[in-house]
Amino acid sequence: MKIQIKNGRLIDPKQGIDAVQDIYLAAGRIVGLGQAPADFHANRVIDATGLVVCPGLVDLSARLREPGFEYMATLESEMRAAAAGGITSLACPPDTDPPLDEPGLVEMLKFRAKSMPGPRVYPIGALTWKLKGERITEMAELHEAGCLAFSQADTPIVDTQVLMRAMEYAATFDFPVWLRPRDAHLIKDGVAHDGAVAARLGLPPIPVVSETIALASIILLMKATGARVHVCRLSSAAAIDMVRAAKAEGLPLTCDVNVHHLHLTELDVADFNPNCHLYPPFRSQRDRDAIRTALADGTIDAICSDHAPVDDDAKELPFQEAEPGATGVELLLPLTLRWARESGRSLSQAIDLITRKPAGILGIEAGQLGIGAPADLCLFDPEAWWQVTRKSLHSLGKNSPFLGLEMQGQARYTIIDGHIDFERNHTA
């Protein structure tokens, strides 16, 4: 398949490109920018007038709910949803059932994902057996099976010695360790930010210090072990200050934030909306503003969807009993664009945070439009308005804090490996 995309606004932060020009795809690769290669005859020409043509989005956390949670969603449905959101590569956390702690499970997930259309799937292996935090996994074997990094997902390791041994082992092979900074004793059964709203509603609180104490341990263990660490889903100004200081020291530390935390605060749980029950919780206005600033100054390296489709039965419960999480793959692009508009940041800077930078954290050949790069692209209309409804979401998870609200910016085409994986009717 040879594709010519003409008249689009090409944005590639890696190469500093922001201009209207044509791009040419063949044999799964980008083969020309501006001028067509010799003897190039397109099988398909896409007129991208009015559209932005950028690298396909790279999502650092998307739960596909297989294996083990097919009653919530399926691999097929969530990969289709991700493609509808412009995502061409995604990392899958290890908190499946069973967890991704054995090579056979990783190989099966990769085989299943490869057998159907949709984004490239990169499994993240479990750091400890069954995610119990007691015995470290055979990371070398999991790496051979296809794991690019190792994580505990949402489950903290309570025994600090186990965490240190896991980081030592990972450092030996230079495997990156992805950790959510959460102190299990301080979280307990908390469900909301420890602030005025939780106090007024009588919700069990999660204090900021549950994040900062865990992060302090991680940073100190990095220094002791030499491990490379990616900190997942920062939520507080205090934690961001700690990451900023650690980076200034030269530690090999990166971090990301859930796209929902760019826009929502503790005030959004005031009506007990279970769709606003997320981990980490939405925090104060000051924390949200600090996240926005940290994205702009580069302290936070990437934005992810932290996609977690949940079935209605698990969400239609009182706030503190509802399953945490929100569907996100179809909102990653418009919510990132909204942050850029509200913060006065360029389109290129916004795209960088969901393409090149997460690709660099994963260590994959994606997130760019250079000649010879994989033909993974997203063509989106930055002006298109659409409403988030149960019907408009492709994901089987209809749980979103933004249900009923309008978004600006929508993927029109998602091209993966040189093939049109998703195409949206312009009137949709």
Q: What is the pLDDT of residues 53-88, one digit of tens each?
A: 999 999 999 999 999 998 888 999 999 999 999 999
| Dist. CA 355–CA 14, nearest whole Å | 9
Looking up tokens 């989106």, which residue turns up? 380
**Domains of the chain, earliest start first:** 55-373 (3.20.20.140)
Mean pLDDT (the chain) is 97
What's the Cα-to-Cα distance from 427 to each of 8, 384, 389, rounded to whole Å?
A: 19, 10, 16
Instruction: Find the distance separating the first CA and the last CA of the chain, reported in whole Å.
Output: 26
| Dist. CA 77–CA 83, nearest whole Å | 10
- Which pLDDT belongs to residue 426? 63
What amino acid occupies position 300? I
Q: What does the pLDDT average to over 95-108? A: 97
Structure token digits, residue 125: 């292996």
| Dist. CA 406–CA 191, nearest whole Å | 27
Single out the catalytic residue among 306, 352, 381, 421: 306
Structure token digits, residue 284: 């104060």
Count of CB atoms within 10 A of residue 209's CB? 15
- 159 as an active site residue: the answer is no
- Which pLDDT belongs to residue 425? 78
Residue 428 binned pLDDT confidence (cut-offs 50, 70, 90): very low
Q: How many Cα atoms within 13 Å fall on the side-chain side of residue 9?
A: 11
Q: Is the pLDDT of residue 427 over 90?
A: no
Specify the 3-state DSSP secondary structure of 161.
Answer: helix
SS3 content of the chain, % helix, strand, coil (to 5): 35, 25, 45
Q: How many residues does the chain have?
A: 428
